[in-house]
Amino acid sequence: MIISLTLWIALYNRVITPLASKIKGKPTQLSVKQRMGIGLLLSCTSMAVAAIVETVRREITIKEGFLDEPQAVLSMSALWLVPQHCLGGLAEAFFTIAQNEFYYFEFPRSMSSIAATFFGVVMAVGSLVASFIISTVDDVTKRGGKEKTRAICIQRPGERGGEQSSRRPPTGAKEELGWSAVRRQRRTMIDAGVRRGSTPTEGVDGCCGYLCPKSREVQQVQFDLNTVSINFDHKERTHPLCESSSGLDAGYVSDDPRYKESMAQPPMAPPPKSLVFTVTRREPELIAPAKPTPHEFKKLSDIDDQDGFRFQISGMHFYRNDPSSMMKGRDPVKVLREALAQALVYYYPLAGRLREGPGRKLTVECTGEGVIFIEADADVTLEQFGEILLPPFPCLDELHYDVPGSGGMLDCPLLLIQVTRLKCGGFIFAIRVNHTMTDASGTIQFMNAMAEIARGAHAPSILPVWRRELLNARNAPRVTCTHHEYDGVTDMTNYTIFPLGHDLVNRSFFFGPTELSALRRFLPPHLQACSSFEVLTASVWRCRIIALQLDPAEEVRLICVVDARAKFNPPLPAGYYGNAFACPVAPTTAGKLCQNSLGYALELVRKAKNSVTQEYMKSMADLMVIKGRPHYRIARTFAVSDLTRAGFAEVDFGWGKPAYGGPAMGGADDIRGFACFHIPFTNDRGEKGVVVPICLPAPAMERFVKEMDSMLKDHSINATTSTFIKSAI
């Protein structure tokens, strides 16, 4: 389908349209509606052909006596599938492209995005209805003790006309077509391998195998060091009664040679290129404040509830088992659960729920319902993660579990904490908080309150301050500053962070004193006194744009996240834990950024940072009210946040400082590649510096590494080690 789609687009644009225009003597092109109509016709034709092929397949199945054999091998070529997929590709080329053009050119400009969104919603509703119909059919047909009808399988396994099938396919045979091939393909995607000599319903006595409704699921995930990406997402199902397993046993065979290599390693020593472990979670629970708290409504500030902050932020902390610590022999889960309940007495708005009022204004109803707490255990030691602890982390979805339905904005828990015990006695503390409630500084303030209480304090040393009205719009809102971060998107065709078509990869880069000195060589004398953050941000931004190879005329933007607490006169109260930062933008074009020196990029970074003042923050709050709390622009934007002084690595719950403390992911959780953080780090030579996790398409990452290396190499610098840090996973 993809091949036919690609070929037809090229043929239509390069051959058919120019030829038709030449014949008629004037520009000729099918209208949007005509192409949509042709696409629908081709789509219907594709479905009709698919139905014919399925009819032929079923007739062959009946003829060969395999009606009740889902894993039978048929004497039917896979080439039967080619016509329907070719027609499907042509249908997509006509209909989908024309439909997008219709939304963006036929609708009013203010409605184009809404129209496209509504189409996506309709498709989602259609899928939901289809799932509901299938579930209903299965539920109705399995009543009375009957086995349910599998709507996706025409030739149903098992009984047929009261007779048992007497013909079975050869064990381990290669399926070429039909339900067995579909099922094998799906299981391969899930397990990254196949299981020899077993079927979906096989098992030992008293167990129904894969489909056992009593089975419990735990995640096993394998990662690859070089690409820092998930290779396997395998669900092991173990029957609680018979102890049979359909997980990684002697019969498990991977399709990936790297997996075979890793499985050949001794079981007690994890292979050098992979880390596989199991996380067992208890049921999530709600932790309410330890004492009664006021039931009241508290409005968020006009900075807090902007559209761009309506998501979750996450952090991870890894703690070693220190026998000399004050917490020796104590259970971290119990200690932190109690500390959380005590801290919520002071931070009781976090135990409430968000409500939305007129003008999309958010208010916290302090209900005292509580926050989510998850207790978990992992059969892995902290040492197995490696000496270098940096995001992304293996099995992140299990160490930082997203409870279904808990991540919404309204009427959902505002805070989630998971504590996972490790085999070595250490533990992992994961936190997720609704960004509208707090920022990085506020999150650290809350965690330090928990830490002080866990160590025996009766109250936090810094008491929380709400006072969100300090960052509200003025009585007569007026935008007095330039806020490029909220500029409208003028070109919807480029509403992406990266050029499409490549997988994204993550890598982390270390910059110590030597590397920073090398970068400063490219700066003119009047910029030598600039901060390390400014030098590093300008260098990474410039190398990143060079690596992406964008159109020289295309606008690119850098967001510098600036903490504005000290910008106010007087400064905001010490205990203020609301959002108090700005996102000023440095705009330019890809051509100017790449062709000019590093000093040009640095001047843009400094100008953006220095634009944040008390008036800038007031103007931003006014803009939120005037323009309906808009989202900051994402297209071709790169955001950088400095966490080197945030204090993530200083949070001590009683077991000492963390081996790692910082963001759970290298960039923004929801939009990969949009943002990166500067994380404090000490390398194996004891040099203190900064780690910058970067996310780019694979080809661009290679160019980024090459460009950065060219800036760091010099005969006067002892570049004995690469700045690239391989992840422990």
Q: Write the CATH number for 363.
A: 3.30.559.10
Question: 91 with 216, same domain?
Answer: no
Whether 699 has a pLDDT exceeding 80, the answer reads yes
Taking the model in full, what pTM does it have?
0.62
| Angstrom distances, CA of residue 546 to CA of 510, 519, 542, 703 | 20, 16, 6, 8
Residues 6+ apart with CB under 8 A from 715: none
Position 485 in a domain: no
Whether residue 48 contacts residue 168, with contact meaning beta carbons closer than 8 Å, is answered with no
Q: What is the pLDDT of residue 105?
A: 65
User: Identity (one letter) of the amino acid at 79?
Assistant: L
Whether residue 21 contacts residue 27, with contact meaning beta carbons closer than 8 Å, is answered with yes
Position 417 in a domain: yes
CA-wise closest residue to 492 among 63, 168, 114: 114
Q: What is the mean pLDDT of residues 698-716?
A: 84
Our count of domains for the chain comes to: 4
Rounded CA-CA distance 655/343 in Å is: 18
Which of the 8 DSSP states describes residue 206? T
Question: 358 with 429, same domain?
Answer: yes
CA-wise closest residue to 190 among 235, 249, 244: 235
Position 161 in a domain: no
Question: 259 with 303, same domain?
Answer: no
Question: 233 with 359, same domain?
Answer: no
Whether 187 has a pLDDT exceeding 70, the answer reads no
CA-wise closest residue to 359 among 309, 302, 411: 302
Rounded CA-CA distance 717/710 in Å is: 12
Position 366 in a domain: yes
Segment 383-440, tens digit of pLDDT: 999 888 888 788 889 999 999 999 999 999 999 999 999 999 999 999 999 999 999 9
Residues 6+ apart with CB under 8 A from 608: 558, 559, 560, 584, 585, 586
Rounded CA-CA distance 726/471 in Å is: 42
Q: What's phi and psi for 319, nearest 5 deg?
A: -120, 135
Q: Which residue is associated with the tokens 């900064």?
A: 690
Q: What is the pLDDT of residue 63?
A: 60
Position 126 in a domain: no
- Residue where a domain stops, chosen among 409, 444, 464: 464
Segment 34-83, tens digit of pLDDT: 878 888 898 899 889 988 988 888 777 766 555 555 555 666 787 888 88
Question: 447 with 341, same domain?
Answer: yes
User: What proportions of the chain, in percent to the nearest 5, are helix, strand and coil?
Assistant: 40, 20, 45
Rounded CA-CA distance 413/370 in Å is: 7
Question: 99 with 63, same domain?
Answer: yes
Position 586 in a domain: yes
Which of the 8 DSSP states describes residue 396? H
- Residue where a domain stops, chosen among 254, 276, 298: 276
Rounded CA-CA distance 695/498 in Å is: 10
Position 173 in a domain: no
Question: 403 with 385, same domain?
Answer: yes
Rounded CA-CA distance 18/182 in Å is: 42
Question: 419 with 389, same domain?
Answer: yes
With a pLDDT cut of 70, the percent of the chain lying above it is: 72
Owning domain of residue 207: 196-276
- Residue where a domain stops, chosen among 245, 276, 307: 276
Whether residue 410 contacts residue 353, with contact meaning beta carbons closer than 8 Å, is answered with yes
Sign (positive or negative) of CA dihedral 266, 270, 271, 277: positive
Question: 339 with 429, same domain?
Answer: yes
- Report residue 201's pLDDT band, with 50, 70 and 90 as the boundaries: very low
Mean pLDDT of the chain: 77
CA-wise closest residue to 555 among 598, 491, 609, 602: 491
More confident residue, 93 or 697: 697
CA-wise closest residue to 236 among 288, 280, 267: 280
Question: 238 with 354, same domain?
Answer: no
Position 707 in a domain: yes
Q: What is the pLDDT of residue 353?
A: 98
Question: 249 with 310, same domain?
Answer: no
Segment 305-357, tens digit of pLDDT: 999 999 999 999 999 998 888 898 899 999 999 999 999 999 999 999 999 99
Question: 335 with 449, same domain?
Answer: yes
Catalytic residue set: 435, 652
